[in-house]
Structure 1
Amino acid sequence: MSFSGKYEVESQENYDAFMKLIGIPDAQIEKGKNFKYTTEVVQNGNEFTWSQIYPGHTTTNTFVVGQESEMHTMGGKTFKTVVKLEGGKIVVDFPNYHHTSEIVDGKLVETSVSGGITFKRISKKLA
């Protein structure tokens, strides 16, 4: 399954509660709540460039499945992890949450779990 493409956020569940739990400041949560930001994924085999594009700011993670990579959290912190591919899902253990990404019916479905709160973001494919 190829993840390559450009996706725009269509819906989010538990955004506020999850962002507060992982330590995102209230002002940033409020700003991010209504952005229709895009995610751009370039996949070449097991190599990925995964960019989240917000107005005035882009966060890009480049990684190879199965190899240690330096990544950036939603809060902008840098850490090292090994990204896995399990059952067609990209799986990443961030410092304070577990994250999966998958393609379901042509949409990018991202799920992050921490402290009993599940944040789910669904994005439609633009290109």
Structure 2
Amino acid sequence: MAFSGKWETESQQGYDEFCKLIGIPDDVIEKGRDYKLVTEVVQNGDEYSWTQHYPANHSITNKFVIGKECDMETIGGKKFKATVTMEGAKLSVRFPNYHHTSEVSGGKLVEGPVVLIRTSKKI
């Protein structure tokens, strides 16, 4: 039940780039940059209710069971089907434009899209 509880943003890296990736307008990015997002997680075994509370009283709740396809919604309101998996101690799910992981590390909820890092050798 490591994920259960309320979590408030402490720090973030790559906020602007991520928001642009998912199509959030510049004025909304500016307004939300310093907002302390609250994530509320209720975990009951493999069943989760994951709510994120955004500015202007906007919240999104995604409910899922590990390993089972479910209906999900993005911050922009796009609905899609996905399967959340558990990889070690990390929750993992593919959103339309990115791969999202969540884990509890050092007593903190760490979330983020997995970014492509390409390394090439000279030929």
Is the TM-score greater than 0.5?
Answer: yes
Q: Give yes or no for contact 1:49–1:62 (8 Å, CA) kept in 2.
A: yes
Secondary structure at 1:59's aligned position in 2? strand
TM-score (norm 1): 0.86
Give the AA of the match of 2:20: K
For 1:84 and 1:29, the matched residues in 2 are separated by 29
The 1-side partners of 2:7 and 2:113 are apart by 18
For residue 70 of structure 1, what is the aligned residue in structure 2?
71
Q: Whose relative contact order is higher, 1 or 2, with alpha carbons under 8 Å and at least 6 apart?
A: 1
Partner of 1:41: 41
CA distance in 2, matches of 1:77, 1:109: 23
Give aligned-pair identity as a percent.
60
* Alpha-carbon distance between aligned partners in 2 of 1:19 and 1:31, rounded to the nearest angstrom: 12
Query: Could you tell me whether the CA contact under 8 Å between 1:15 and 1:33 is conserved in 2?
Result: yes
Structure 2 spans left out of the alignment, 5+ residues: 118-123
**AA at the equivalent of 1:12:** Q
- Across the aligned residues of Structure 1 and Structure 2, the Cα RMSD in angstroms comes to 1.3
Mark the structure with the bigger radius of gyration: 2
Structure with bigger strand share is 1
Q: CA deviation at 1:115?
A: 6.0
Using the size of structure 2 for normalisation, the TM-score is 0.88
* Aligned positions, number: 116
Misfit runs of 4+, over 6 Å: none
State the AA in 1 paired with 2:70. Answer: S
Unaligned ranges ≥5, structure 1:
117-127
Corresponding position of 1:32? 32
